[in-house]
Amino acid sequence: MQLRGASSAKNLYRKILQPRIPIHATPCDIFINHRGIDTKKNIAGLLHDHLFRMGLRPFLDSRNMKPGDRLFDKINPAIRNCKMGFAVFSPNYCDSYFCLHELALLIESKKRVIPIFCDVKPSQLRVMDYGTSSAEQLRRFSLALEEAKYTVGLTFDTLTGDWSHFLNTATDAVINNLAELEAGNSS
């Protein structure tokens, strides 16, 4: 049944979205914002690979960057040019300046963001002041985090969750959101 749903989603994407994507299209459809030590080798990596096999163009730093690339030179344009994003919140997410910067840039760029709460509840997410960020940066990060926490998203428990079901649900969410965005752009 789930394979049928994934196949239907892929066919919907091919029929509705692919013919309208120009050759000079954005470098990625979906930016995957995540905390590498928590999620790169499981949920973020699997999500990237699943979306890629569906014919989409996800951006994941470990898959789209090479040694020597400057982080902000690759990540900032990928965020600004993507159609939407996933924010994979995890226990160590808020400890990362880069995660919070990427989230703030997604929100400030008015991108649609689907939160994924992976092994963490929204109420557990807080921006902490470790003395490394300015007051303005902390304010940006806090505003973006609050907006994402109050956006309907997906939850996943890596110990007890059904990985296949999660990947299909996340893919369906992407397809539906991209179709909505495309419909909004064409009207």
Residues belonging to the active site = 102
Distance CA 19, CA 84 (A): 19
